[in-house]
Structure 1
Amino acid sequence: MQPLSGEKCTKKCYDPKTGWWVHVCSTDRLTLYAAHPSRGRKALDAIGIAPAFRGISVHDGLKSYQSYGFTQAWCNVHHLRELTYVEEELKQEWGHKMKELLLSMKDEVERANVSGKQEVDLLVLACLLRHYDEILAEGYRANPPPPPPKKSEQGKRKPGRAKQSPARNLLDRLSQGKWMVLRFLHDFAVPFDNNQAERDLRMIKVQQKVSGSFRTEEGIAMFCRIRSYLSTLRKQGIALFPALDHVFSGTPVLPAFS
Structure 2
Amino acid sequence: MAQYFELLATGFAAQAPPPETEKRPKKQGRPKQSAAKNLLDVLLLRGDEILDFLDDCSLPFTNNQAERDLRMIKVQQKTSGCFRSEEGATAFCTICSYLSTMRKQGRSMLGSLAAVFQGSPFPIAWAPE
Q: TM-score range by the shorter chain?
A: 0.5 to 0.7
Secondary structure, in 3 states, of the residue corresponding to 2:121? Answer: coil
User: Residues 191, 239 of structure 1: CA spacing in aligned structure 2 closer, same or farther, 3 A cutoff?
Assistant: closer
Aligned AA for 1:214?
C
Question: Structure 1 CA distance, aligned partners of 2:80 and 2:20?
Answer: 46
Aligned residue pair count:
124
The structure with more radius of gyration: 2
Question: Structure 2 CA distance, aligned partners of 1:198 and 1:238?
Answer: 21
User: Equivalent residue for 1:213?
Assistant: 81
Question: Structure 1 CA distance, aligned partners of 2:104 and 2:57?
Answer: 22
User: Equivalent residue for 1:103?
Assistant: none
User: Equivalent residue for 1:135?
Assistant: 7
Tell me how large the CA RMSD over aligned residues is: 3.5
Question: Structure 2 CA distance, aligned partners of 1:176 and 1:242?
Answer: 46
Q: Which has the higher helix share?
A: 2
Question: CA contact under 8 A between 1:243 and 1:252: conserved in structure 2?
Answer: yes
Question: CA contact under 8 A between 1:247 and 1:253: conserved in structure 2?
Answer: yes
Question: Are residues 1:181 and 2:53 paired?
Answer: no
Aligned AA for 2:13?
R
**Stretches of structure 2 lacking an aligned partner (at least 5 in a row):** none
Identity %: 50
Q: Which has the higher strand share?
A: 1
Per-residue CA distance 1:80-99 (angstroms, 9 max, x = gap): xxxxxxxxxxxxxxxxxxxx
Question: Structure 2 CA distance, aligned partners of 1:176 and 1:193?
Answer: 18
User: Equivalent residue for 2:103?
Assistant: 234
TM-score by length of 1: 0.38
**Stretches of structure 1 lacking an aligned partner (at least 5 in a row):** 1-128
Deviation at 1:141, TM superposition (A): 2.2
TM-score by length of 2: 0.67
Secondary structure, in 3 states, of the residue corresponding to 2:81? Answer: coil
